[in-house]
Amino acid sequence: MNTSTITRPLAVLLLLAGCANQSTAPQPAPANPAALSGALNRITWGVSTSSYQQASKIGYDAWLEQQLHPGPAVLPAAAQAQIDAMTISQKPLPQLVQQLEDQRRDYDKAMADDEAKKAAQRAYQQELSRLAKEAATRSLLRDLYSPNQLQEQMTWFWMNHFNVHQGKSNLRVLVGDYEEQAIRPHALGKFRDLLAATLRHPAMIRYLDNEQNAVNRINENYAREIMELHTLGVDGGYTQNDVQQLARILTGVGVNLTDKTPNVRKDKQDQYVRAGLFEFNPNRHDYGDKVFLGQPVKGRGLAEVDEALDRLSRSPATARYVSRKLAIYFVADEPPPQLVQRMAERFQSSDGDIAAVLRVLFDSPEFTRSLGTKFKDPVHYVVSAVRLAYDDKVILNANPMHSWLNRMAEPLYGRQTPDGYPLTQPGWASPGQMTTRFEIAKAIGSGAAGLFKTEGAQPQEKPAFPQLANALYYQALQQSLAPATRQALEQAASPQDWNTLLLSSPELMHR
């Protein structure tokens, strides 16, 4: 078959067939080029020439240790300059929120003209959307170019695990800071610290309505989700009474977007806590004693929350639930129970050390055997394709990537429900998804994706054509391709067709 005349529907059918028949045969340990490439393709956001060269130079074990315990990330200057120029990088969150709140109150109070008021409302909404897009672009730039690839993967994983939806309230101004301050610093640290950081961030508090949770006016939303989705899991052994008791413990945990301090009654003033936009207001807290997960909790304010987090983070159910979810993400849609058990044991013995749990996973034979079989969700597909095509050549415009993720229904910060995006193949392997992936592969493979052309009144363009038939391909990637894929590539009529066929191949749909 001459691939120069390949039709899009036929190409997609071939891709779907290849995805369905992807081999699950055991893979060798990362001692040869193909195996090393496969391991990097799973642990990073997608293997690239530079990441492969680095791991080859220092050895896989040393490289993995650097990934598990990373130092400060140094991005390419062109990528860092884009991040530094962002409003979210230049202004602290309280200042940004205050400016937007002032803007919102001003048009609410002062404008009598309906058209002027509508225009002001549009401007407010547009600014919220612009700030959220900055955060998403910053995240993608780090996924593409950070040397700390595992940290960036885990940042996405935990953002999905502790999901918030940018469309609620003013979360578009909060999500960037949530990712930057609550998630990324703890992505490879202690689970207990990560859990506490998400609980104290206004994005989580607002998203799950805990600012509405007060004594004699209980809101159970956050209490339920923190047990069902964040820690114990739906089968974790808690009861509806535990939900109610945790909701009582969480009363008073809220948000203060103003520069004013509430009038706290005198006998509780020493218990008032304010940290940035986070606020614990004793006036709103239920000081009665509670019984949570079968053990008493003495009513004493914010310290109750820390006691509850200790119980939740150190529960065997949490160790099993979190370990299984990590294994789904990094190994298989139905992970081997023995692997999950070993990870859960390490979770407990290390007091929830995420890097230590991941070390058990990455050192396991189950991980090695699974390489090349885990289906990529849209974010993994898009980021890995750009990394492979352009390596460390810094894109000028992330908008095409945002557009692709929107088309495939996985925009950053876009999952409305608190369960996060699915991590398994059935959520992303429909014919419509495959058609879109072929179109993305064609856009990248032809060099016409728009990634290197800025937008605006004076657009700049730095043409870049992906050279995918490179040393990495011949040293490592080619060995992992099925005969049908190799044959199709050999018959490609042009470099553009060759690139498109490689990026849309069944093998490139997996990691």
Residues listed for the chain: 511
Task: Convert 150-162 into a string of H (helix), E (strand) and C (coil).
Answer: HHHHHHHHHHHHC
Alpha-carbon torsion 138, 140, 145, 147, what sign? positive
Q: What is the tens place of the pLDDT at every residue in 65-97?
A: 999 999 999 999 999 999 999 999 999 999 999
d(CA 202, CA 211): 9
Query: Mean pLDDT, the chain, as a whole number?
Result: 93
- pLDDT at position 105, please? 79
Under the banding of pLDDT at 50, 70 and 90, the label for residue 24 is very low
Q: Is residue 455 very low, low, confident or very high in pLDDT (cuts 50, 70, 90)? A: confident
State the Cα–Cα distance between residues 380 and 387, nearest whole angstrom.
10
Residue 8 pLDDT grade (very low, low, confident, very high; cuts 50, 70, 90): low
Q: Which residues contact 13 (CB under 8 A, 6 or more apart)?
A: none
* pLDDT tens readout for residues 229-244: 999 999 999 999 999 9
Among the residue ranges 151-165, 211-225, 455-469, the one predicted with the least confidence is 455-469
pLDDT at 460 over 60: yes
What does the pLDDT read at residue 463? 83
- Alpha carbons 93 and 135: distance in angstroms, whole number: 12
Helix/strand/coil (H, E, C) string of 305-352? Answer: HHHHHHHHHCCHHHHHHHHHHHHHHHCCCCCCHHHHHHHHHHHHHCCC
Binned at pLDDT 50, 70 and 90, residue 10 comes out as: very low
How would residue 130 be classed by pLDDT, with cut points 50, 70 and 90? very high
Segment 110-114 mean pLDDT: 66
Strands of 221-297 (E only): list them: 253-255, 273-275, 278-280, 290-292, 295-297
Q: Report helix, strand or coil for 290.
A: strand
Answer with the residue of higher pLDDT: 29 or 183: 183
Q: Is the pLDDT of residue 350 over 50?
A: yes
The pairing of beta strand 278-280 with beta strand 273-275: antiparallel
Other residues' Cβ atoms within 10 Å of the Cβ of residue 168: 15
**SS3 category, 398:** coil
DSSP per residue over 86-97, as a string?
SHHHHS-HHHHH
Residue 416, judged by CB atoms within 10 A of its CB (0-12, 13-18, 19+), counts as exposed
- Give this prediction's pTM: 0.94
CA 239 to centroid of chain Cα atoms:
30
Q: Which amino acid is at 171?
A: L
Q: Is 304 left (phi over 0), alpha (psi -120 to 50) or beta?
A: alpha
Question: Is pLDDT of 26 > 50?
Answer: no
Query: Stretch 374-382: mean pLDDT, rounded?
Result: 98
Which neighbouring-strand residues pair with 375?
510
CB atoms within 10 A of CB 261: 12
Torsion of CA 328, 334, 337, 340, to 10 degrees: 0
User: Residues 361, 410: contact at Cβ < 8 Å?
Assistant: no
Q: Which of 137, 150, 136 is nearest to 51 (CA)?
A: 150
| pLDDT value at 440 more than 80 | yes
Residue 397's pLDDT is 97
Relative orientation angle of helices 60-68 and 49-58, to the nearest 10 degrees: 110
CA 498, 499, 504, 508 dihedral sign is: positive
The pLDDT of 411-434, averaged and rounded, is 97
Contact assessment for residue 323 and residue 157, using Cβ atoms and an 8 Å cutoff: no
